[in-house]
Amino acid sequence: MEKRLIENRQLLGILAMFMIVQFGGLMISTLYFNGATYSEVASAQVANSPTSAFLLIGYIIVIAIAMIIVFKFYHGAKLFRIIEAVIIFIASFYVFFIILAYITQSSNISTAGAVIIAIALVVAKNKWTNLKNVAAILASIGVGVVLGFGFSFFVALIFMGLLAIYDFVAVFITKHMITLANVVTENNLAFMVDMNEVEGLPKSSFSKKELREYNKELKESGSRGKRILSIMKRSNTNGMVPVSANVALGTGDLAIPLMVAVAAYKLTLSFVPSFFIVFGAILGLMITMFILRKFKRALPAIPPLFLGVLIGLGLYYLIYYII
């Protein structure tokens, strides 16, 4: 029971960060779209054809293959730090730029300020590793907002659907997404948000079956399991078992629903459909969490998120046509 409480706390933390990205991204978008006409909004789009979605998926697959090759032959950390720094800088720059542009009404001041703050974020994350989730949240908002600005709504929806298929294949069939996630975790890169803690629970609260499953899970979890086993040897004398609760969500899983929600603004120049999509995505994440609790294995988050987005969108149109 106590172990479940820890797991629930982790899942609620992930859900909270997901909601921060979605609603934070929509707030940033209101600053960008403030007073814009339909023609101005449409002119900002760079991807109006479904072909763009297929091309982007192709780029993602090529990059994934390249990264897997790099992981196989390169075992250092500097290259990953450079990639992380570039992505955090570019993605967070747009967030800071939009905010500063709204406040100062000056592109020069906004650009300079955004560059300085984005660099400061990269430096701070490398100095204080606990800022990883903060950096990942800001980067996710930046990616989701920029893609939402550039994609038409239907291209964004098609792209998310294609990503759902890719995510399923990458986790369950090729399993290369699990390899990528392990590298990200081992190097503490800001490409996912996570909740990770070890808490001591009374050994008497576990059944024999639960203890067997616990020991098996630790042995299969690599370096993290070895660290916990070393703690376990020291704490067993006190009748306590260290339980590691770890739940993670990739920045893509955070950014893609936001992309669709931002792009949905262009349907009616209103954020009403965007909110329906966000609440649908939250439902999709809750479905993912339910499945995760039940089966306790790595899961692709985009498919249930996409299902939730479709449910939210369908509910919006249902209410729209009824009213």
Q: What is the identity of the amino acid at 220?
A: E
| Dihedral over Cα of 216, 219, 222, 224: its sign | positive
Nearest Cα residue to 192 out of 257, 130, 254: 254
Measured CA to CA in angstroms, residue 60 lies from 20, 54, 166, 269 at distances of 26, 10, 9, 30
The structure tokens listed for 265 are: 């603004």
| Tokens 């149109």 found at | 317
- Distance between CA atoms of 44 and 148, rounded to whole angstroms? 10
- Distance between CA atoms of 159 and 153, rounded to whole angstroms? 10
| Tokens 């001591």 found at | 200
| CB burial of residue 79 (10 Å; 0-12, 13-18, 19+) | exposed
Residue ranges in the chain whose pLDDT is less than 70? 1-6, 35-47, 197-211, 213-245, 323
- CA–chain centroid gap for 193, Å, is 6
pTM: 0.84
pLDDT at 146: 92
Nearest Cα residue to 154 out of 318, 320, 309: 309
Q: Which residues of the chain form beta strands (DSSP E)?
A: 192-202, 240-250
- Given its phi and psi angles, is residue 303 left (phi above 0), alpha (psi -120 to 50 degrees) or beta? alpha
Question: Would you tell me how many other CB atoms lie within 10 Å of the CB of residue 160?
Answer: 24
Quick: pLDDT tens for 111-138: 999 999 999 999 999 888 889 999 999 9
Give the H or E element holding residue 269.
none
Q: What are the DSSP calls for 65-108, one per residue?
A: HHHHHHHHH---SHHHHHHHHHHHHHHHHHHHHHHHHHHH--HH
pLDDT at 299: 84
